[in-house]
Structure 1
Amino acid sequence: MRAVIQRVNYAACHVDGVETGAIKQGLLVLLGVEEADGDEDAAWLAAKICSMRIFSDDQGLMNRSLQDVSGGLLLISQFTLYAQTKKGNRPSFIRAAKPDKAKPMYEDMILRCSELLGQPVQTGIFGADMKISLENDGPVTIMMNTKDKENF
């Protein structure tokens, strides 16, 4: 799994003009799933997202987690995180999981994060044409890849 994690003051997702999810202070997470991903990847990534200390404490140091600040989580599926651009000008998405694998993994991440945070996770709609609005805080943007844990 790959994730782009952005600390935000607010974020919202709209599909066909209808808001499907919105948060105030918290994290906007763009999530990509590949065919090789499994339960271990989801468990590791959910734990990292929910406990990563990237919110400021009283001294302005990044010492607080999403749990510590009671922040919101907006989780958006995004297969384009697996774009391969090595050849030509059109990205290939061959490593991205097909919807029959990716959708249950995305739904599993929603459940895992909800349980870890003790609150509902806000979402987009899997496979939909989503419009995301946000205000970055910092900006703080972190990329993670469960297949390269040593570097993330």
Structure 2
Amino acid sequence: MRIVLQKVSEGSVDVVDETNGKADTTFEPQHIGIGYVLLVGVEDTDGAEQIDWLVRKIANLRVFEDENGKMNRSIHDVNGSVLSISQFTLYADVRKGNRPNFVKAGAPAHAEQTWHGFNDALRSQGLEVKEGRFGSHMRVRLANDGPVTIILDTDELGV
């Protein structure tokens, strides 16, 4: 799995109606205050081991400031929330040509199941998790705080 984690003071997502480019009224826009916006990419080889490692890391990552201005507090310590967005484009391969190749991105059925499993595992850690809608055109808005942006890739980390 590949995740771009952004520490935010706020974040939101809405789904765009493909026919008219306006907000899709069948999707209730999601909003969080302080916490993380996670852009989540899944490969076909990803499963429980990758989810478990990432959830432990994300739930305990200390990137929020303490009273001395040091990044020493976790998302739990600040009562933060998570906004999770499925994003297959994190697996874009642009080495050849100008059109990205997405061959490493997980098959949609597996990717959706894994992404939902990941979100549920975050919830099992006591985190409030809001989601975009898998496979949809979304508009994500965020106020990156710091800025703090961290890339977690289970392939590179040997998980």
How does the TM-score come out when normalised to structure 1?
0.95
Contact kept? 2:42, 2:111, Cα under 8 Å: yes
How does the TM-score come out when normalised to structure 2?
0.91
Displacement of 1:19 = 4.1
Larger Rg, first or second structure (1 or 2)? 2
Displacement of 1:20 = 3.2
Could you tell me how far apart the structure 2 residues matched to 1:148 and 1:137 are? 26
Which residue in the other structure is 1:94 paired with?
103
* Amino acid in the other structure paired with 1:104: Q
Could you tell me how far apart the structure 2 residues matched to 1:19 and 1:11 are? 14
Fraction of identical pairs, as percent: 43
1:84 counterpart SS class: coil
Contact kept? 2:92, 2:100, Cα under 8 Å: yes
Which structure 1 segments of 5+ residues have no match?
none
Which residue in the other structure is 1:41 paired with?
50
2:83 counterpart SS class: strand
Which structure features the higher share of helix residues?
A: 1
Q: Report the aligned-residue RMSD.
A: 1.4
Contact kept? 1:25, 1:72, Cα under 8 Å: yes
Q: Which runs of 4+ in 1 moved over 6 A?
A: none
* Amino acid in the other structure paired with 2:54: L
2:95 counterpart SS class: coil
Contact kept? 1:20, 1:123, Cα under 8 Å: no
Which structure 2 segments of 5+ residues have no match?
17-22
Number of corresponding residues: 150
